[in-house]
Amino acid sequence: MWFRNDKNSKVALSLAALLMLSACGGMGDKISNIGQPPKMTEIGNQGANSAYRPVQLPMPPQEAANPNANSLWQSSRQTFFKDQRANKVGDILTIMIDIDDEADMKNKTERTRTGSEKAGMPEFLGIPSTQLQKVLPDAVNPDSLIDVDSTSNSTGDGKIKRTEAIKMKLAAMITQVLPNGNFVIRGSQEVRVNFELRELTLNGVIRPEDILNNNSISYEKIAEARISYGGRGQVTDIQQPRYGQQFYDIVWPF
């Protein structure tokens, strides 16, 4: 293969080398996994993950418990008999996700502006126009030295129409009990069908009072909710633009 030793060829080779270096990590993984289904995440201690960070939120002062040795009732219990609802780290509860959002917005703006300026100079420092014409070119009229017209027109039209629907159930685990008694929960679910892996993850903070007697809670009662639904696999890869096209869309200024 022969390349011309000029500036354009060097720039093209540099861009190609940069593109290959940026994509070599993910490309190498995909090449090594050719013919293999996507790997599922191993079950393990999430607290041992280097990316794990405990949730820290503003909390009210923690109230001191005053247990009574002669009473069958405990302040930490919500019912007299045994409560089957999740209440400590490691307990599992069911999250009911039923998202059906729809948005339809339209906005239109139009602006028009016209300006006109005209100025003359019949006399300059007491010099009449007849004397100025001897200095100025013949085509210049001192009575109309400046004549400016401007017109500006701007029109904008925008429309957004979106429909989202997600309905499913997900088991989540209590990963932290905050000082005010609220629970930090995290749940994940992976379903692999042939060579496509579907992932659902959820994180958030809930109140113990919002957990129903069947040990479930609806998604709209989750504070700081982070719900992600996506996938990995051959179908997802085909739907994504190639590395070269993504790089071109980022660096191309027009």
pLDDT in tens, 110-138: 878 787 766 665 655 555 555 555 655 56
Q: Residue 65 has what pLDDT?
A: 64
Question: Which residue type, as a one-letter code, is found at position 115?
Answer: G
pLDDT of residue 178: 92
pLDDT of 136: 59
User: Does the pTM of the predicted model rise above 0.85?
Assistant: no
Q: Which parts of the chain have pLDDT scores under 50?
A: 1-3
Residue spans of the domains in the chain: they are 81-103+163-244, 106-158
Q: CA 10, CA 13: separation in Å to the nearest integer?
A: 5
Give me the pLDDT at residue 121, please: 59
Note the pLDDT of residue 140: 56
pLDDT in tens, 189-215: 888 888 888 889 999 999 999 999 899
Task: For CA atoms 164, 170, 176, 182, give the dihedral sign.
Answer: positive
Tell me what pLDDT residue 8 has. 65
Give the Å distances, CA to CA, from 81 to 32, 72, 87, 94, 211: 56, 10, 14, 22, 17
pLDDT for res 39: 77
Per-residue confidence (pLDDT) for residue 2, from 0 to 100? 46
**DSSP structure string for 84-99:** -S--STT-EEEEEEEE
